[in-house]
Amino acid sequence: MQRAGPEEEAAGAQAAAGGGGGGSAAPAGRLLRRELRLLESIFHRGHERFRIGSACPDEISCEFVPGAADRAGGSAHRGPPPGPVRIHCNITESYPAVPPIWSVESDDPNLAAILERLVEVRRGDTLLLQHLKRIISDLCKLYNLPQHPDVEMLDQPLPAEQSTQEEVSSEEEDEEMPEDSEDLDHYEMKEEEPADGKKMEDEGIGKENLAILEKIKKNQRQDYLNGAVSGSVQATDRLMKELRDIYRSPSFKGGYYAVELVNDSLYDWNVKLLKVDEDSALHNDLQILKEKEGADFILLNFSFKDNFPFDPPFVRVVSPVLSGGYVLGGGAICMELLTKQGWSSAYSIESVIMQISATLVKGKARVQFGANKNQYSLTRAQQSYKSLVQIHEKNGWYTPPKEDG
């Protein structure tokens, strides 16, 4: 999906507002809190159609409930009634200049298309509310449901700000601080969340992985203080969410794959595929590899850029050397979803990992025992990927018959 660079938009908006310093961040934060209060008052956890599960200044989890009405209404969806559609939203410190970043826990292209159409929503101070209004309306259309009347409540004036003595004191302290200290809010935001929100965010994550997340946040703050910040706010926020979701995932906990950050970098992941289809030749090859070399996994490397999630990660096989399985020279992988043309910002990293695992099996990948391990390198993989993209931009992608998987 092509989309304008959010950071450029944010810079333009700040310049238009006449401002160099961080003075606009606090009013924007207060406005966001008022939006969140309105959302939670309308779409509470018992709402029949749309529910806000958790909401804090940088992340929202919610779900759309098609319910039983779609069966009576002659839904276009066939088969069993659809379950809840779980939706996540990440909000950067530059909101509303930088739009909210949405993702959905589904591979349904219809749902991904709904999120991609949010670029059409007109910008404004209450962009979050307008995004949700569009999402709920489009989901009702998708499931052949009548528009829910509560959606119109998103257009009402925001509730008055509830200033407490504590907030007033905080604002007085802010006036005495240097302007750049506003930028530290991004790295301290998690520490300032209410205890309930923090507990919900960490729910289902093991202690060892919680320690990794905490270490990442401390490293980010230290890098900022040292003037060595890397990446972008939008990419860092989304990658933190992806990593947190992975640590909660049944597939991760079930040992299907493992994730390790290279040199503690949030932008460089090593992913081990620990389990593949037991009926496949690749599974048997990995058992033999374990006997010979003590390793029974496929090692992948995921590299993320500053514009993630709007561009895909670069993914390559590191080891072992494989033949087949749509693996190209240098370890690049021939998959449309790993190109700009096939990528969607709604894809989760776990869904990409599981899709790669399935593609290797479908493509009849085999371990090349005794092959020169040096033939896989980042440079060669990037060259193969570049050639792949050029070929498919010219000739399109081949979709195999259904009997081929």
Q: What is the DSSP string of 193-230?
A: S-HHHHHHHHTT--HHHHHHHHHHHHHHHHHHHTT---
CA proximity to 344, closest of 87, 129, 108: 108
Residue 334 a catalytic site member: yes
d(CA 391, CA 396): 8
Query: Looking at 56, 89, 140, 334, which residue is catalytic?
Result: 334
Side-chain half-sphere CA neighbours of 194 within 13 A: 8
Question: Within 10 A of 131 (CB to CB), how many other CB atoms are there?
Answer: 18
Three-state SS sequence of 337-350: HHCCCCCCCCCCHH
Phi, psi of 257 (to 5 degrees): -155, 165
Burial of 53 (0-12, 13-18, 19+ CB in 10 A): middle
Question: Token pair of 346, please?
Answer: 């709604």
Q: Is the peptide bond before 96 cis (omega within 30 degrees of 0)?
A: yes
Cα separations (Å) of 351 from 104, 238, 300, 347, 365?
A: 11, 15, 14, 7, 20
End-to-end CA distance of the chain: 26
Residues 6+ apart with CB under 8 A from 66: 75, 81, 82, 83, 84, 85, 139, 143, 145
- Classified as helix, coil or strand, 276 is coil
Phi, psi of 59 (to 5 degrees): -155, 140
Cα dihedral sign for 136, 138, 144, 150? positive
Which residue is associated with the tokens 């709604």? 346
Name the helix (H) or strand (E) containing 271: strand 268-273
Which residue is associated with the tokens 């401390």? 218
Active site residues: 334
